[in-house]
Amino acid sequence: MSRKQVLVYRELPVDQLARIRLEHDVVVANPRIAGQQQAFLDALPDAQGMIGSSYTIDEALLAQTRRLEVISSISVGVDKFDLPALQRQGIALCHTPGVLTDTVADLIFTMVLASSRRILELGRYVQQGRWKRSIADDQFGWDVHGKTLGILGYGRIGRAVAQRAAMGFNMPVLYHTRTPVPSGLPEGKAHAASLHEVLEQSDFVVVVLPLTGQTLGLIGPEEFALMKPGAILINGGRGPVVQEEALLDALDRGTLRAAGLDVFEVEPLPADSPLIDHPKVLALPHVGSATHETRLAMSNMATSNLLLALQGRQPLAAYLPGTNK
Ligand SMILES: NC(=O)C1=CN([C@@H]2O[C@H](COP(=O)(O)OP(=O)(O)OC[C@H]3O[C@@H](n4cnc5c(N)ncnc54)[C@H](OP(=O)(O)O)[C@@H]3O)[C@@H](O)[C@H]2O)C=CC1
Ligand SMILES: O=CC(=O)O
């Protein structure tokens, strides 16, 4: 098989890079690093394969490619890609579902626990040397076990969150889907519900939806108004699914008790965002899958996807199939 041109647009572990170099010629250029932007642009016309993540691949960028066969994303989410443009051009798009599911569910559940037990705030209280006597009830948290947890986005990660909630913390689970699916949990542990029912009845609303035309801005003023007083919102999917202005309003009015957010409308979170030091917000830097083990598994799977597609073979997970040029 002849060697092809591969553009690596995000750092890859050296052994993954070596796997690609065994079969193909590689340019490493990360367009988010100022000094590497030109090299990235220069490599586009000849690139037959690309591998990376967290960079918008739109129609204008695709117009600069001439030979591209496959893009292998080191992520499960594919919202950074212009899917219709890729499809029109017959470019395959691969992603990394499954290998990060439990790690992201762990992080989401960490946010459930941390927001409810006020871990960030109380940890800071100790760090700042303010712990002088037993704390009073204005610093108590709220129980997690036994409370109702609602899930919007009952896919791989949503189901893994449900399992932790129902089986580990004895929480009744409500889940909203657009395509009916069984809960995957023992009888009586979880119930399908409408979006309204999930919002109205849940003590914790966990959002783990992909970002699409349908989900953009899905949780706004009307949805917050439906939520139980004292509910906690957790967003571990994509930032723009939740309208941040409406979220801040719900927090400031006291409707929402707290929010745990791993994702934001704009990332990295702008320095002047009121979410950064909001007392009721636990804000994390998009770290759902960020463990050593899982990031390695993701780059390994993405590298395999790329190599298989360039060999004209079936990748492990193709989001959009290509044309096998
Ligand atoms: N914070 C982080 O670091 C991470 C965030 N993510 C985000 O989590 C998302 C989910 O990942 P994963 O669980 O693996 O993906 P899945 O595709 O397995 O699950 C997504 C679920 O959302 C459902 N869904 C899609 N659109 C709607 C809608 N309009 N209304 C109701 N349900 C809908 C899908 O249902 P249907 O079958 O009907 O399409 C599916 O069940 C990713 O797309 C990504 O954006 C993922 C990894 C890490
Ligand atoms: O946000 C991370 C992903 O894998 O998608």
What pLDDT is recorded for position 207? 99
* Residues 271, 198 share a domain: yes
Whole-number Cα distances in Å, 217 to 173, 209, 221, 245, 247: 24, 11, 10, 11, 11
ipTM at complex level: 0.99
What pLDDT is recorded for position 230? 97
In a domain, 223, yes or no: yes
Which residue from 198, 206, 208 has its CB within 8 A of the most atoms of ligand 1, so it is best to mutate? 208
321 Cβ inside 6 Å of ligand 1: no
In a domain, 149, yes or no: yes
Which is the closest atom of ligand 1 to the Cα of 262? 1
Q: Count how many residues are written for the chain.
A: 325
Cα 210 to averaged position of ligand 1 atoms, centre (Å): 4
* Residues 26, 15 share a domain: yes
Cα 286 to averaged position of ligand 2 atoms, centre (Å): 8
In a domain, 203, yes or no: yes
What pLDDT is recorded for position 322? 80
* Residues 255, 138 share a domain: yes
239 Cβ inside 6 Å of ligand 1: no
208 Cβ inside 6 Å of ligand 1: yes
Number of domains observed in the structure of the chain: 2
> Rounded CA gap, 250 and 108, in Å?
21
Cβ atoms of residues 267 and 75 within 8 Å: no
- Considering every ligand atom shown, identify the ligand nearest to the alpha carbon of residue 180 and give its number: 1
* Residues 83, 72 share a domain: yes
* Residues 153, 122 share a domain: yes
In a domain, 20, yes or no: yes
Which residue from 10, 51, 53, 74 has its CB within 8 A of the most atoms of ligand 2, so it is best to mutate? 53
Overall average pLDDT of the 57-73 stretch: 98
pLDDT value at 324 more than 60: no
Cα 96 to averaged position of ligand 1 atoms, centre (Å): 13
Cβ atoms of residues 264 and 239 within 8 Å: yes
Q: Is the dihedral of CA 204, 209, 215, 216 positive or negative?
A: positive
* Residues 161, 27 share a domain: no
* Residues 230, 305 share a domain: no
> Which CATH number do you get for residue 44?
3.40.50.720
Residues with active-site annotation: 238, 267, 286
Overall average pLDDT of the 126-147 stretch: 97
In a domain, 34, yes or no: yes
* Residues 169, 124 share a domain: yes
In a domain, 76, yes or no: yes
- CB-based burial of residue 270 (10 Å sphere; 0-12 exposed, 13-18 middle, 19+ buried)? exposed
Give the domain extent around 172: 101-283
pLDDT, tens digit, 9 for 90 and up, residues 161-178? 999 999 999 999 999 999
In a domain, 325, yes or no: no
- CB-based burial of residue 318 (10 Å sphere; 0-12 exposed, 13-18 middle, 19+ buried)? middle
Residue type (1 letter), 103: T
Cβ atoms of residues 149 and 162 within 8 Å: yes
Task: State the alpha helices, DSSP H only, in 6-155.
Answer: 14-23, 37-43, 59-62, 83-88, 101-116, 119-127
* Residues 108, 93 share a domain: no
In a domain, 27, yes or no: yes
* pTM attached to this predicted model: 0.97
* Residues 121, 73 share a domain: no
pLDDT value at 323 more than 70: no
Each as own residue / partner, the long-range contacts of residues 209-213 (CB below 8 Å, 24 or more positions apart, any chain) are 209/152, 209/153, 209/237, 209/238, 209/241, 210/77, 210/78, 210/79, 210/153, 210/155, 210/237, 210/238, 211/77, 211/79, 211/237, 211/238, 211/240, 211/241, 212/79
Which residue from 104, 207, 287 has its CB within 8 A of the most atoms of ligand 1, so it is best to mutate? 104
pLDDT value at 146 more than 60: yes
> Rounded CA gap, 119 and 107, in Å?
14
* Residues 132, 230 share a domain: yes
pLDDT, tens digit, 9 for 90 and up, residues 249-292? 999 999 999 999 999 999 999 999 999 999 999 999 999 999 99
Q: Quickly list DSSP for 209-251.
A: PPP-TTTTT-B-HHHHHHSPTTEEEEE-S-GGGB-HHHHHHHH
76 Cβ inside 6 Å of ligand 1: yes
80 Cβ inside 6 Å of ligand 1: no
pLDDT value at 1 more than 90: no
pLDDT value at 140 more than 60: yes
Which is the closest atom of ligand 2 to the Cα of 263? 1
* Residues 127, 220 share a domain: yes
CA-based radius of gyration for the chain: 22
Overall average pLDDT of the 216-239 stretch: 98
Cα 69 to averaged position of ligand 1 atoms, centre (Å): 26
Q: What is the mean pLDDT of the chain?
A: 97
Cα 200 to averaged position of ligand 1 atoms, centre (Å): 21
- Considering every ligand atom shown, identify the ligand nearest to the alpha carbon of residue 76 and give its number: 2
Overall average pLDDT of the 54-60 stretch: 97
